[in-house]
């Protein structure tokens, strides 16, 4: 609630100098419309107690209650509030209106005023029509919901007019209602829609007059548009059900089931069954109902027509609008009805077919002769005499045919004569296509290969005397023809095939022709050739020094073709040590093979050499190259001197190594090979393992390094010249294998005193004697 309050100082007579009192005003609701009731709140406050205070309300509108209020006693300082109700009339125009309130006693008075705003109002919201769906020409009763927002009784008149509405019988196009205060009511408008309306929405105008019964609420007149939905024409379902099978020319009782099929209800409905083509009404068939929902209408008819018969039904509703609906009946024609069923539905040359003829009639027949005429060979009898055929009890006649083996594909007539009347049916003979599958392993072969295969034949019918023949330009190792006396439908027949590809056959596709009862099916075998490729010619190591005796060559070959390569020969065209070629009987596709050769490189001078490998097989050949580099070897000069070479002595061998080559010799190593005359001297077991090896390190060009070996000369050696072999190894930059040099050193052994032997021997004896003397001296002291 919103309160708008105006405080006014009470007007007093200054001459009397009496105390003042205050007057305050407020109202609700905050928004005021025509027809609203305003509650005016009047509050009095006085500083001193007062008695017999009168309050007058002056308003431009009707004051319903509290226009004059008498206050018997007003306490000092205590506010007193009073309520006055003001009715805003319906015809009040929008704007501001002032309400003045005066409070007074015999000796003093106070006055206050408040302005209220009357807002515009749409009176059409007080009237709510409730239309539904209608049919053209329908009598309509339109309910209109009415609302009264005032505190007075309202008298309401609602009228409808428009081009699509008209008076229904003697009814008026208006309705009246009295609506209680703050309540609602319903008014019913009765009218009829035009008969020629199409489906759609049509506007009609409502004219509404609102007036209060007492008069102080005012009156108002306004208009409102209502849309009337018109749907399509009346939908009525009509179904005819005969009590028994109708017989042309005999009375038949038929029950018509009539029901509403559309959304709009049909009122004042009259149903009448009419005469039609082949239909005559004998009795009944007329009924009237106020509202059509579901209706069962019996009628006796005389039907004189066979086949499709339509019964016309006239349906009138509302005020004379009529439609005609039809109920359909089927009257069977009198006579014979023949049907043929073939099993299988389609046949093949040489197969059997069963035909079943179903003979029915709508009247009783006796001694019915049946004769069948067919271009096929009949296995069973083609004629028969049926003693009796009654309605709803059909007779059957079966016959089995054999289709000739030489029958051509096509459609053949099957004629049957029943009681002298000829009926023709047709039977289709298909081309005898067998389902044939041939699978070969391997799918791609090579000349000389053997291929295994499976031939599978499936017949779509029960086949007899099946001849299968196989022909091919290849060599067929299994039988070329087969005879199958009976091949059941759908059961596969399989046979095993073995085919050889003759040697020397060029690559290509070779046919395998299969003939089944004269029908050919062709399959193919692909003959291909291998393709051997030398993938790599690898020399290990790729660089050696001159004078190196041998280099290893690995040749890798692979068959990149789709079939096996036979008799593959791989040859190394360079001078070799050991095998120069390999022969592979079979080289399967995709499997690489590595072959090892050894090249004689001892006589090759420095430079680059091609290592050439050749692969040849039945049908082709290929070559590949590898690279061998011969590096120049450094020349090492060996000088030596030998001292104290006598039987049983320890000789000293001094060796000087000078690098005469252009490159540095790296990791120079000398190994001495002992003999029966010379043994390497070692003072202990640990030295024995390394006594014959000297590692000299790197020797630059022109540099000389020295080393020595101690040799124990056999005491059994006789005078003469003996040879020792030195082995020098070293590495050169860019060469994977070390260089080797063998040096033979002749040493002369001769007898005699050698100071290198005598002096150590004397020293040894002296030391032994000294040791013995010291041991004896210690024993004496002890």
Task: Give the span between the Cα atoms of 700 and 636, in whole angstroms.
Answer: 11
- Among 462, 492, 527, give the residue marking a domain's end: 527
Q: What is the DSSP letter of 590?
A: T
- Among 576, 609, 630, give the residue marking a domain's end: 630
| Nearest 10 degrees: Cα torsion 274, 277, 281, 287 | -20
Asked if 103 and 135 sit in the same domain, the reply is: no
CATH number of the structural domain spanning residue 180 = 2.60.40.10
Asked if 641 and 718 sit in the same domain, the reply is: yes
Asked if 225 and 240 sit in the same domain, the reply is: no
Asked if 656 and 747 sit in the same domain, the reply is: yes
Asked if 224 and 144 sit in the same domain, the reply is: yes
- Among 230, 258, 290, give the residue marking a domain's end: 230
Asked if 246 and 277 sit in the same domain, the reply is: yes
Asked if 610 and 678 sit in the same domain, the reply is: no
Task: Give the span between the Cα atoms of 298 and 291, in whole angstroms.
Answer: 19
Q: What percent of the chain has pLDDT over 70?
A: 91
Asked if 114 and 25 sit in the same domain, the reply is: yes
Residue 671: pLDDT above 70? yes
**H or E stretch at 253:** strand 251-260
Specify whether the CB–CB gap between 222 and 124 falls below 8 A. yes
| Between 115 and 601, residue with greater pLDDT | 115
Asked if 484 and 442 sit in the same domain, the reply is: yes
Give a yes or no: residue 765 inside a domain. Answer: no
Give a yes or no: residue 326 inside a domain. Answer: yes
- Stretch 243-254: mean pLDDT: 76
The pLDDT, as a whole number, for residue 205 is 92
288 by DSSP, 3-state: which? strand
The pLDDT, as a whole number, for residue 144 is 92
- Stretch 728-736: mean pLDDT: 82
Asked if 210 and 287 sit in the same domain, the reply is: no
pLDDT one-digit tens code per residue, 58-84: 999 888 888 888 888 888 888 889 999
Task: Give the span between the Cα atoms of 466 and 485, in whole angstroms.
Answer: 6
Residue 97: pLDDT above 90? yes
Q: Report the chain's mean pLDDT, rounded to a whole number.
A: 83
Range of the domain at 492: 435-527
Give a yes or no: residue 652 inside a domain. Answer: yes
| Nearest 10 degrees: Cα torsion 66, 72, 73, 79 | 0
Angle (CA) 451-452-457 rounded to 5° is 130
Give a yes or no: residue 774 inside a domain. Answer: no
The pLDDT, as a whole number, for residue 10 is 36
For every residue of 608-666, DSSP letters joined together read: EEEEEEEEEETTEEEEEEEEEEEEPPP-EEEEEEEE---TTSEEEEEEEEEE-SSS-EE
Give a yes or no: residue 758 inside a domain. Answer: no
Task: Give the number of other CB atoms < 10 A from CB of residue 582.
Answer: 17
Instruction: Report pTM.
Output: 0.38
Cα radius of gyration rounded to whole Å, the chain:
68
Asked if 208 and 275 sit in the same domain, the reply is: no
Three-state SS for 531-549 is CEEEEEEEEECCEEECCCC
The pLDDT, as a whole number, for residue 15 is 36
pLDDT one-digit tens code per residue, 41-57: 999 988 888 888 899 99
Give a yes or no: residue 775 inside a domain. Answer: no
Give a yes or no: residue 700 inside a domain. Answer: yes
Going by their DSSP bridges, the two strands 50-58 and 62-65 should be labelled as unpaired
pLDDT band at residue 767 using 50, 70 and 90 as cut-offs? low
Q: What percent of the chain has pLDDT over 90?
A: 13
Among 782, 672, 649, smallest CA distance to 723 is for 672
Tokens of 765: 């004896």
Specify whether the CB–CB gap between 303 and 248 falls below 8 A. yes
Asked if 414 and 446 sit in the same domain, the reply is: no
Give a yes or no: residue 780 inside a domain. Answer: no
Measured between its terminal Cα atoms, the distance across the chain in Å is 142
Residue 312: pLDDT above 50? yes
Cα 292 versus chain centre, distance:
54
Specify whether the CB–CB gap between 367 and 392 falls below 8 A. no
Number of domains composing the chain: 7
What number of H helices and E strands is found in the chain? 2, 59
The pLDDT, as a whole number, for residue 320 is 66
The pLDDT, as a whole number, for residue 319 is 60
């Amino acid at each position: 609630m919103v309160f708008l309050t105006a405080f006014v100082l009470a007007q007093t007579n200054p001459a009397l100098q009496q105390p003042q009192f205050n007057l305050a005003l407020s109202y609700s609701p905050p928004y005021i419309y025509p027809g609203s009731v305003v509650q005016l709140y009047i509050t009095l406050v006085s500083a001193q107690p007062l008695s017999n205070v009168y309050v007058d309300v002056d308003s431009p509108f009707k004051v319903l209650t509290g226009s004059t209020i008498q206050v018997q006693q007003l306490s000092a300082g205590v506010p007193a509030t009073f309520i006055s109700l003001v009715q805003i009339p319906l015809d009040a125009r929008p704007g501001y209106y002032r309400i003045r309130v005066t409070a007074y006693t015999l000796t003093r008075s106070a006055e206050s005023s408040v302005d209220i705003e009357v807002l515009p109002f749409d009176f059409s919201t007080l009237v709510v029509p409730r239309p539904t769906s209608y049919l053209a020409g329908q009598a309509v009763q339109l309910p209109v919901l009415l609302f009264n927002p005032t505190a007075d009784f309202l008298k309401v008149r609602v009228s409808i007019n428009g081009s699509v509405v008209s008076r229904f019988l003697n009814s008026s196009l208006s309705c009246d209602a009295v609506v209680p205060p703050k309540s609602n009511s319903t008014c019913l408008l009765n009218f009829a829609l035009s008969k020629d309306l199409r489906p759609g929405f049509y506007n009609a105008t409502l004219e509404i007059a609102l007036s209060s019964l007492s008069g102080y609420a005012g009156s108002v007149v306004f208009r409102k548009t209502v849309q009337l939905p018109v749907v399509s024409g009346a939908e009525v379902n009509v179904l005819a059900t005969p009590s028994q099978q109708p017989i042309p020319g005999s009375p038949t009782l038929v029950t018509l089931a009539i029901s509403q099929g559309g959304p709009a209800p049909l009122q004042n409905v009259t149903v009448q069954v009419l005469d039609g083509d082949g239909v005559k009404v004998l009795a009944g068939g007329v009924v009237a109902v106020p509202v059509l929902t579901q209706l069962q209408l019996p009628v006796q008819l005389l039907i004189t027509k066979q086949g499709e018969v339509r019964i016309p039904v006239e349906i009138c509703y509302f005020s004379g609008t009529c439609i005609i609906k039809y109920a359909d009946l089927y009257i069977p024609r009198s006579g014979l009805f023949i049907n043929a069923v073939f099993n299988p539905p389609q046949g093949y040359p040489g197969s059997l077919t069963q035909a079943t003829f179903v003979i029915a009639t709508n009247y009783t027949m006796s001694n019915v002769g049946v004769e069948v005429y067919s271009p096929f060979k009949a296995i069973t009898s083609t004629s028969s005499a049926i003693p009796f055929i009654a309605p709803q009890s059909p007779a059957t006649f079966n016959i089995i045919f054999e289709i000739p083996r030489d029958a051509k594909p096509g459609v053949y007539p099957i004629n049957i004569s029943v009681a002298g009347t000829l009926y023709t049916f047709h039977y289709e003979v298909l081309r005898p296509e067998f389902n044939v599958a041939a699978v070969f392993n391997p799918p791609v072969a090579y000349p000389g290969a053997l291929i295994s295969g499976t031939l599978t034949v499936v017949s779509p019918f029960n086949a007899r005397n099946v001849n299968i023949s196989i022909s091919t330009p290849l060599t067929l190792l299994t039988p070329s023809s087969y005879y199958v006396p009976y091949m059941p439908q759908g059961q596969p027949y399989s046979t095993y095939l073995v085919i050889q590809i003759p040697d020397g056959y060029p690559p290509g596709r070779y046919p395998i022709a299969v003939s089944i009862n004269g029908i050919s099916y062709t399959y193919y075998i692909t003959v291909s050739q291998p393709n051997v490729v030398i993938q790599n010619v690898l020399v290990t190591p790729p660089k050696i020094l001159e004078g190196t005796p041998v280099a290893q060559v690995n040749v890798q070959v692979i068959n990149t073709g789709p079939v096996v390569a036979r008799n593959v020969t791989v040859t190394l065209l360079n001078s070799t040590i050991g095998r120069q070629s390999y022969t592979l009987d079979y080289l399967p596709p995709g499997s690489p093979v590595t072959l090892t050769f050894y090249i004689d490189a001892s006589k090759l001078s420095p430079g680059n050499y091609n290592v050439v490998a050749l692969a040849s097989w039945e049908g082709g050949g290929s070559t590949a190259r590898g690279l061998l580099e011969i590096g120049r070897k450094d020349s090492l000069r060996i000088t030596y001197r030998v001292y104290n070479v006598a039987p049983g002595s320890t000789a000293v061998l001094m060796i000087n190594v000078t690098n005469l080559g252009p490159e540095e010799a790296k990791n120079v190593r000398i190994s001495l090979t002992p003999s029966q005359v010379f043994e390497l001297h070692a003072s202990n077991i640990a030295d024995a393992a390394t006594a014959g090896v000297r590692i000299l390190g790197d020797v630059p060009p022109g540099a000389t390094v020295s080393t020595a070996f101690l040799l124990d000369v056999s005491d059994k050696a006789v005078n003469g010249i003996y040879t020792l072999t030195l082995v020098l190894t070293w590495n050169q930059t860019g060469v994977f294998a070390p260089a080797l040099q063998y040096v033979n050193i002749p040493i002369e052994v001769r007898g005699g005193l050698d100071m290198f032997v005598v002096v150590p021997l004397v020293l040894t004896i002296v030391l032994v004697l000294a040791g013995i003397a010291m041991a004896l001296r210690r024993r004496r002291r002890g």
